[in-house]
Amino acid sequence: MVKSFDNPEVPFVCFMDTEWIQKITIKGRAPGGASRFTLFLQRGPESEPDEVAFVFDARFNYGECCEKIVTNCKIEGNWQMEEAGECSFPFYPEEPFKIKIVVEDDYFRVKVNGEEFLEYGQKLSMKSINCLRIENDVILDKVKLE
């Protein structure tokens, strides 16, 4: 079963059945002057849930980060150590992008604009995750769960 959403509002929150979700595709763009946009795979729709299996935070100019991707997870209400890879920053204001997250047994594999981008080892079982949340400075054209 495939769920698809065209031009959804932000923040975007969608419950999902992780028994069958294998791929999440997000198409959109960051507006000019964007600070950051963030994708969460989490338990429940809240903005501060206790369990977050995967955070993908694209920071254009946020805090001390400039053009950096930060990943993380939250276990039993505690954020873990942020991971900021040395990969190049693939996003530009007003430029369309496509992010594909593939859920594997032990990690999340992320592609950006068709290119392999990063892998994030699962530290929390995806079986406990039931929600996708997207927020901050992003204009969504399409979100697809399959």
Question: How many domains, in total, are found in the chain?
Answer: 1
Taking the C-alpha atoms of residue 118 and residue 69, their distance in angstroms, rounded to an integer, is 10
User: For the domain that residue 86 is a member of, what is the CATH number?
Assistant: 2.60.120.200
Q: Identify the DSSP state of 20.
A: T
Provide the domain limits for residue 116. Answer: 3-145
Instruction: From first to last of the 146 residues of the chain, give the pLDDT tens digit.
Output: 789 999 999 999 999 887 777 899 999 999 999 999 999 999 999 998 999 999 999 999 998 889 999 999 999 999 999 988 777 899 999 999 999 999 888 899 999 999 999 999 988 877 778 999 999 999 999 999 99
Q: Enter the tokens of residue 137.
A: 């400075």
Helix, strand, coil % in the chain, rounded to nearest 5: 0, 55, 40
- Rounded to two decimals, the pTM is 0.94
The string of DSSP codes covering 72-140 is: EEEETTEE---EE--------TT--EEEEEEE-SSEEEEEETTEEEEEEE-SS-GGG--EEEEEES-EE
